[in-house]
Chains A and B, each alone.
Chain A
Amino acid sequence: MPQKKSAPDVLLLFLTFSLLAIGLIMVYSASAVWAEYKFHDPFFFAKRQLLFAGVGVVAMFFIMNVDYWVWRDWAKVLLIICFVLLVLVLIPGVGMVRNGSRSWIGVGAFSIQPSEFMKLAMIAFLAKYLSERQKTITSFKQGLLPSLALVFSAFGMIMLQPDLGTGTVMVGTCIAMIFVAGARISHFVGLGMVGLAGFAALVLSAPYRIKRITSFLNPWEDPLGSGFQIIQSLYAIGPGGLLGLGLGQSRQKFFYLPEPQTDFIFAILAEELGFIGGSLVILLFSLLLWRGVRIAFGAPDLYGSFLAVGIIAMVAIQVMINIGVVTGLMPVTGITLPFLSYGGSSLTLMLMAIGVLLNISKHARY
């Protein structure tokens, strides 16, 4: 099956490093005040992020050289392991609670989020599953339903933690993959209606939920509660204007925006670098999306194509949700901005996923 290899997608590599560099600078800028306050070391978060980036880049290059079919062979095993971890993480004493969710497993700095791994395992498995049954995907019962059942059972497990952000990204990614694989549009429309009905039922059964969901539309209704983060985020973005306050000049990072180096790093970026800087980052992600879809186009087989589209969809959806939240387009869910947000497992996993994509690009023919 393997054909002769070519060079990896250099533009993809360049985009990744660009985002990584911007991320490192912004993590330092956004976290310095906090780091100084908490650890008396303004570089505390930046140094660690640099370390994570180093580990991630090494892992990325390593994986870039691992032919991607390996993931097809291991997909089933990885998926099962992830399911087991998702069960284990729910057990008090094994799983650790951070920020109200029991999402972490392991000891101290060596703890991981099983749901993050599940995203990747699910992509690998679904790529394999769909490429093997591409003919039956147009059938609701034999193609669509089993894949959706698998995806939603994983989603259900993740929601028990709960981790709505990761769960949503995973479901969005899988739906993109199923869509690309050729599922019928009518099925999507039908499922969409069922989904809407279910959503309506949930809201009707507990009307307070609607308020939670719509509070992002007018955060000033509850400025110290549900609206707090979004207001603080808008207070960062708004004053940024066209050109921004200048690198390092953020006001909101002075304890107004909670943990500005993680989920809301884009707000600080937009505050310091303005609409120009924010747009540049969105452009970089758009180009990344383009390169990813292009690799899916050129992949030597359906498996590679689905795997590539899964990886790039995951990155893109996470970016969309994160920036959507930060700019007040979506309710707060709590996911990181790929390559930019501070956080070891998020960054290394993202870089590893790009490694897979780079490997596929090596085999691609356009």
Chain B
Amino acid sequence: MAKVMMKGNEAMALAALKAGCKAFFGYPITPQSELPEYLAKHMPKYGGVFLQAESEVAAINMVYGASGAGVRVMTSSSSPGIALKQEGISYMAGAELPAVIINVMRGGPGLGGIQPSQADYKQITRGGGNGDYYVIAYAPEDLQETVNVIKEAFDVADLYSNPVMIAVDGLIGQMMEPVDVDMEVSKRELPEKTWATTGTQGKRPPVNINSLYLDPLNLEKHALKLAEKYRLIKENEQRYELVNMDGAELVIVAFGTMARIVRSAIELLSEEGIKVGLLRPITIWPFPEKAFNEIPDSVKGILSCELSTGQMIDDVKIANNGRLPVGFFGRTGGMLPEPEEIVSAVKAMLGGLKHE
């Protein structure tokens, strides 16, 4: 398939099919409903199963079941629906089951609104459910990158036997963009799923998929094993993009739709002779701490720009480790800033820094 025009939700669904996803369980919610709608129509052609569950909770437990049987499986929802799925996601992390979960974020808390938001950042990057665990989370900024990371996410989920989340906002779900769904992405060397409940054929002992460890010593062992896995993921899977860093006076940290607005702001600022760089996390967990080592000495401060009241800023501060002053600019509730608002925030921060 050559380049085509697709809506984000359609492109994400097609990317999953191209990645060999053979089962989808979900429940509709704006602004991601076109995604299950597309799969309802197209999944049968790919020999897979589409099922609209009776609720988000049912859907994520169906994902648990399919994943346990060794099948490539996905679910999708938007913020309040993802909140409902957290129990199942925690169980999957505990049972070490791979799956891809797409979160097309909308404003919150609670039912919130239906316009784009990044206010699920903490829920996504801190695990989200109970217990010592993380989900690997990609936060792409355009449809081509979204399609590419979804295709890779199925491999990454299988490689680490852990849920992977695709964190986009409603705008990425709803917007049209040219996209090539067959673009090559890097493939991982994947272990065989010897743990999957595919039937013993009388040739091996039964396998057991479970997150219950009543003996605390065993549970501690299990938690430490997971912790070692998460250490490896932090080591190997941080992904980011650095833009316009050479000689920058200030660096903006932003992901997803916000990063796109920031790109326009950076252009406007450079027309005025103000040099600003962009540090764009592509994984928000693991957070790209390594990228902060590449911030040049010319930089006097860091501005965290988010579609929330400030959630990523804590990770920015941890990664910055006290080196530079950290400021914040955000819009929330489904509001998107104009690039000029970011220009003003940058000027205000640079002005303040000069007076210090």
Do the two shown chains form a genuine complex with each other? no
